[in-house]
A = this chain, B = another copy of it.
Amino acid sequence: MNFCSHCGERVSLRVPEGDNRPRHVCESCGRIHYQNPRIIAGCLPVYGDQVLLCRRAIEPRYGYWTLPAGFMENGESTEQAALRETLEEAQARVQLKQLYTLTSIIHVNQVQLIYLAELERPEFGISNETLESRLFSEDEIPWDQLAFTTIRNALRFYFADRRENHFPLRHIEMEPGTDSLPLKP
């Protein structure tokens, strides 16, 4: 950040009075420009004993498989964001069951929320973000072709928890240096 988005003057990076960390401050109009983590909301859609994955049509991780998820927008709830992303990316309508994973991806300032969801009918499709959508049973999951560690975590937890028929909220912290993005096959 170089300029004040309100008045257009240059900002400086300093600790404002009464604060304890550096912020971008406009010395002209006085505004403080806070930067905060963003929320990614999505679903783990289940149909019978299968789960729905999407193959990414965009970078990063073009061509790799993921769960439908994306940035939560202003003016919606976390649940609405998860449903919207599932409809946009997989053309799928689901019923949310519960919040299942909450992952703080610290080094990219993101918090990812994945909901367990039920796909009512085997209807899904593609979009400008999705090359292909497909149902996978557990033994078909393309583990070495998953886009993100967070997705691998959610799927691993899901198949393990399904054996117990018990799905506790999974609270995960990904520290700087862990492989949240490019996942080595």
Contact A71 B36 (CB under 8 A): yes
Known A39-B37, A111-B39: A75·B8 in contact at CB below 8 Å: no
Assembly CA distance A8 to B28 (angstroms): 14
A76 within 8 A of B: yes
User: What size tier do the contact residues of chain A reach?
Assistant: 35 or more
Assembly CA distance A102 to B34 (angstroms): 22
Q: List 7 A-B contacts (CB under 8 A).
A: A1-B5, A2-B5, A2-B6, A3-B4, A3-B5, A75-B106, A77-B104
Interface residues of A, Cβ cutoff 8 Å to B:
1-8, 10-11, 18, 21, 24, 33-39, 71-80, 98-99, 102, 104, 106, 109, 111, 128, 169, 171, 173
